[in-house]
Structure 1
Amino acid sequence: MRGPSELPANLQALRAHTQAGEAGFEGVPLLKNRFARWTAWAILTWELSPAAQSVQTWHLHGDLDSTFPIGNVHPDEIVPGGGHVLPMTHPDAVEAFLRRAHRLLPCGKIPMSSQ
């Protein structure tokens, strides 16, 4: 997982606002509504739990994603021409990726949580 010092410079500047919580983003341009401020705060303060760190994940990412630019992520596979909503714009690529990921699971089974 990338640490704060590895964030792009514009995100490093925003991270300074996180100490005051969501309210710390009040005067930041482009974060004019409450949801945008909350989203920025949530992304910049998110910590992966120890339990979640032990779960195998696969990352599919579009090379034209402007929300999370390709230079800031480390995907397992890249979808050429894909943006931020791959299931809507490139469903065939998502399906193929899920089929390949499914084959990597032990016995080809998806683990189910007990209820």
Structure 2
Amino acid sequence: MRPLSPTEIARRLDITTAAVTSSIDRLTGLGHVERTPNPTDRRGVIVTAKPDSAAQAMSFLLPMIYSVDGVLDRFSEEEQELVGRYLEQVSAAYAEHLDDGAHSPVDA
């Protein structure tokens, strides 16, 4: 993952820079990221994930992912197809609302 400015993170996540700053403060305090001077903008900073942070996150997430995958293995092929169709339609419904420019109440 390449370093990004807080403004770029906010843009990509479609949240306020204040929310990003708060998140960065918390992640910095937990040792997951660090702020360094931006080499192309002397007034700015970039946020860089610490190398062991991704490994730490994956050590937490992978067991959950494998458990969910194991649950799916308990369904028949037909049931898996049904679950897949459901998830595709839910994803399309979410995308439709996002494409309409809908925002969460937090943005209001």
Regarding TM over 0.5, the answer is: no
Which has the bigger relative contact order, CA under 8 A and spacing at least 6? Answer: 2
TM-score (norm 2): 0.24
Higher fraction of helix: 2
Larger C-alpha radius of gyration, 1 or 2?
2
Higher fraction of strand: 2
TM-score (norm 1): 0.23
